[in-house]
């Protein structure tokens, strides 16, 4: 394991690994339960993403699943037990489902969708930054079929990604989209072709490797510029007007960006016709 300035968390239901410099890979590890996330799992992931944002050496996170599912949503068995016994459910962290739904973090997260992606799993990819999916992946919000509602931030955000009619179709029918259809709708960035007879491990490996290539491309850029550029996109996606969003970006981030070392290094490297050597972001 690389050395870090801060101690990594030890999640119970996911595994942390570090496949490349500046990148953390988070693998949901409840394959028998199709990686459904229970109360402890939400707390785990909230801690992981907070740690990634605070750890200076990390620049990008990747989320994937073990087995044939990426994430089939909430742990409905746990939910049913609480409902049947009239017990209150454990509170969701402020960052929402999987620590991603209402995350206020500053570093990008890529979802490597290796298989089934339903309910909260779909909400996580809607709220992530980049989505790479296996061609055999299925994506859906089937909450209406269970008498519940997708309340992790996906509904108002989905419409901004795929448009009203497609969002209505997806949410009100509860049907699943193929990876290819999700890509056409703009919900998935890229589909990785996998054979019909490919094993779960082979599928996961191919999707994660493609996600890792994208993560390394991001990590090779100025970490300061990535943080501020991502924030600018998020402001627009959240429905803030262009002028207001630009003003907020300037007031909150740009002064700190201009005072940092990476902007100086990037410009100096351009003039000197060499590859820049970035320092860990202090934003």
List residues with catalytic annotation: 74, 120, 123, 143
Q: Are 28 and 14 in contact (CB under 8 A)?
A: yes
- Helix or strand holding residue 60 (H, E): strand 60-65
Q: Is 88 exposed, middle or buried (0-12, 13-18, 19+ CB in 10 A)?
A: exposed
Residues 6+ apart with CB under 8 A from 150: 119, 120, 122, 123, 141, 143, 171
d(CA 36, CA 55): 27
d(CA 86, CA 47): 28
Q: Where are the alpha helices (DSSP H) in 59-151?
A: 76-84, 120-127
Tell me 93's DSSP state: P
d(CA 104, CA 61): 14
């Amino acid at each position: 394991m690389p050395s870090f300035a801060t101690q990594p968390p030890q999640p119970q239901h996911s595994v942390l690994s570090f496949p490349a410099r500046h990148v953390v890979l988070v693998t949901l590890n409840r394959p028998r339960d199709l990686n459904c996330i229970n109360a402890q799992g939400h707390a785990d992931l909230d801690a992981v993403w907070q740690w990634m944002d605070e750890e200076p050496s990390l620049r990008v996170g990747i989320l994937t699943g073990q087995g044939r599912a990426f994430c089939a949503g909430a742990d409905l068995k746990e939910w049913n037990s609480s409902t049947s016994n009239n017990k209150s459910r454990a509170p969701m962290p402020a960052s929402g489902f999987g620590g991603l739904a209402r995350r206020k973090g500053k570093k990008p997260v890529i979802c490597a969708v290796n298989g089934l992606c339903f309910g909260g799993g779909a909400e996580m990819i809607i709220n992530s930054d980049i989505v790479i999916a296996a061609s055999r992946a299925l994506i859906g919000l089937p909450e209406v079929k269970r008498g519940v509602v997708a309340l992790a931030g996906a509904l108002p955000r989905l419409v901004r990604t795929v448009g009203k009619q497609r969002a209505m179709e997806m949410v009100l029918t509860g049907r699943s989209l193929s990876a290819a259809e999700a890509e056409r709708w703009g919900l998935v960035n890229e589909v990785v072709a996998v054979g019909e007879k490919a094993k779960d491990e082979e599928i996961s490996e191919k999707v994660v490797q493609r996600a890792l290539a994208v993560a390394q491309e991001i990590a090779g850029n100025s970490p300061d510029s990535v943080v501020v550029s991502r924030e600018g996109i998020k402001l627009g996606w959240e429905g803030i007007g262009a002028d207001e969003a630009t003003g907020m970006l300037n007031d909150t981030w740009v002064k700190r960006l201009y005072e940092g070392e990476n902007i100086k290094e990037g410009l100096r490297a351009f003039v000197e016709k060499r590859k820049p050597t970035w320092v860990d972001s202090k934003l």
